[in-house]
Amino acid sequence: MRRFSQRNPLVTLSDINITPLLDLAFVLLIIFVITTPLLEQGLEMKLPKGGKPDRPLKREDFRTLEVNAQGFYVMDRQRLTLPQIEQRLVREHQANPNLSIFIRADRTTPWDMVYQVTDMCANHGITVSLRSEPRDRK
């Protein structure tokens, strides 16, 4: 007497056993839960007391000004001249004294173009931050 006589030996199984897949998912989850706090930890330091705490960064507290290699200024997707930028930033700085300017300049941009903006912002008391790509770690 033949066992499984009603089945054809070429019949494929329609059920998939997901138990090994779940085991793998849980093991990976546990590994990530354990290693994540270790990745966030920096150097062990005891910082001095004092100073001002960092203020939270809000979208209305900063503007991004881009300077391309041809020397065009772009802010809020609009191409502007330096006097237009000055008028706009002074008006916004009067409305919001926490205003900061992030300057993104192409590496081939003439330095004079960036300096004109930083000098103009310094004359009006507007904080400037020069943005860059992170350095590759080797």
From residue 56, give the alpha-carbon distance in Å to each of 1, 64, 83, 134, 136.
79, 17, 30, 22, 28
pTM for the predicted model, two decimal places: 0.54
The confidence score (pLDDT) of residue 67 equals: 85
Greatest pairwise CA separation for the chain in angstroms: 99
Q: Would you state the pLDDT for residue 88?
A: 92
pLDDT, tens digit (0-9, with 9 covering 90-100), for 8-22: 666 666 677 888 889
Q: What is the pLDDT of residues 39-74, one digit of tens each?
A: 655 445 455 565 556 566 677 778 888 888 887 888
Give the residue-averaged pLDDT of 22-39.
84
| pLDDT tens for each residue of 58-114 | 777 788 888 888 878 888 888 888 899 899 999 998 998 888 888 888 878 888 888
Assign domain 59-130 one CATH number from 3.30.70.360, 3.40.640.10, 3.30.420.270, 3.40.47.10: 3.30.420.270
